[in-house]
Structure 1
Amino acid sequence: MPRLIDHARRRRELAQAVWRVIARDGIAAVSVRTTAAEAGVSAGSLRHVLQSKDELLAAAMRLAIENVTQRFLGAARAVGSIEVAVDWLSELLPLDDVRRVEMQIQLALIAEAPAHPGLHTLRDEGYAGIREACRSVLADGASHSTFRSSLDLDSETTRLHVLLDGLAFHLVDGSVTVTPDVARELLTQHLDLLAVHE
């Protein structure tokens, strides 16, 4: 009896192979052939799961979104203090080597979006996910009297999202000014402006 292929697992393995190709040789080097070689499979076998460069890039972007989403949801806790909010939101920042590489891959893929329209939708999905994460933390903090209940949630969500994007960019770029500790402190200072003070 022929062995069944776990397409979801194979798709993830191929997306990881795309990441390795991008990290080593740049996004222009991604192709069915190079990805198949990196993954240790034949090009024909790869095409049973992902048929083109566009599909390979989309799978790589989807993997990044899934990783961030899983980390964020896995860290969920009631926002009973600024420290908890900072810890939870920090899951969205490239504070270690693994997340820095992940962010570099995402930025490379976002830069390719004009040439690969399918990436536009995934990019927007990623942005919407980060925005929703920011809103969730602020809303939960307000419900636990960590943040003021009078906050303009839409406006503050946008401000927090922009702050996180800026911090992430500086962290992934290897800024000597914005280190992981500095990023957490700036995030703490921002959230403290929204806090309930006795």
Structure 2
Amino acid sequence: MPRMVNHGQRRDELVDAAWQLIAEDGLAGVTIRRLAERSGWSSGAVRHYLPTREAILDAAAQRVGTVIEERVRSVDATAAPLDALAGVLAAVLPTDERSRRASEVWLAFVGQAISDRAIADAQGILYRDLNRLLVELLTALAAIGHRVDGGATAAAAELQALVDGLTVHVLLGRVEVAAAEATLRAAVNRLVKPGFTAARRPT
């Protein structure tokens, strides 16, 4: 009987190896040859799953988005609306080994995106997904009567910039996770205020 190959698992193993390369040497350290060396596979086997350097980087960026999405989805959906928003922001912070590695890879993409248009486009996917979610959450808060300072789009941009900056500081060990979470909550409370409808719903 021929041996069954789990192609999804094998591709995941390659992305794991690509993350290691990125964390150690940045995006410049990622090549098919180096990924083959790191994974122990032949270059031909690597190309079967990730045929180009661009495909490797795309897969690495998509994995970052997947990790963040999983963490965001774990936020308590039954929480009060402001707690849920603060929870989504906190879920982006690097708080364990997997999310820390994801943040390191994200930061490598951000640094390279300044001078590389293709990388900027890949990194832009990560930005747009979170931005879209924050706008949706803030719009929903406004719909139930909360006052969102500056509107949902502006507030989402401010909160996203704050969580991005805090992520970097946490990675560098300059800010503790608990302090970063408290800062995010304070920003949510400053930007979103209960309005008349939210504060006095009919019973």
Which TM-score band applies after superposition, normalised by the shorter structure? 0.7 to 0.9
Distance 1:93 1:38 in 2: 28
- Measured against aligned partners, the alpha-carbon deviations of 1:9-50 in whole angstroms (never above 9, x if no partner) come to 433221111011222344433221221232232111111111
Mark the CA change 1:52 to 1:150 in structure 2 (over 3 Å): closer, same or farther.
Answer: closer
Please state how far the C-alpha of 1:79 moved relative to its aligned partner. Answer: 5.3
The aligned residue for residue 71 of structure 2 is 71
The count of corresponding residues between Structure 1 and Structure 2 is: 195
Instruction: Say if 2:136 is the partner of 1:139.
Output: no
The aligned residue for residue 181 of structure 1 is 178
Instruction: Say if 2:101 is the partner of 1:101.
Output: yes
Give the TM-score, by structure 1 length: 0.82
SS state of the match for residue 95, structure 1?
coil
- Measured against aligned partners, the alpha-carbon deviations of 1:137-172 in whole angstroms (never above 9, x if no partner) come to 323334455x32786112212221222122122112
Distance 1:44 1:188 in 2: 49
Instruction: Say if 2:74 is the partner of 1:57.
Output: no
Amino acid at match of 1:103: S
Distance 2:17 2:96 in 1: 21
Give the TM-score, by structure 2 length: 0.81
SS state of the match for residue 48, structure 1?
helix
> Are 1:79 and 1:137, in contact at CA under 8 Å, matched by a contact in 2?
no
Distance 2:23 2:45 in 1: 23
> Are 2:135 and 2:156, in contact at CA under 8 Å, matched by a contact in 1?
yes
The aligned residue for residue 46 of structure 1 is 46
> Are 1:18 and 1:56, in contact at CA under 8 Å, matched by a contact in 2?
yes
Mark the CA change 1:124 to 1:25 in structure 2 (over 3 Å): closer, same or farther.
Answer: closer
Gaps of 5+ in 2: none
Distance 1:168 1:47 in 2: 33
SS state of the match for residue 190, structure 1?
helix
**RMSD across aligned positions (CA):** 2.7
Amino acid at match of 1:156: A
The aligned residue for residue 121 of structure 1 is 121
The aligned residue for residue 196 of structure 1 is 194
Gaps of 5+ in 1: none
> Are 1:15 and 1:60, in contact at CA under 8 Å, matched by a contact in 2?
yes
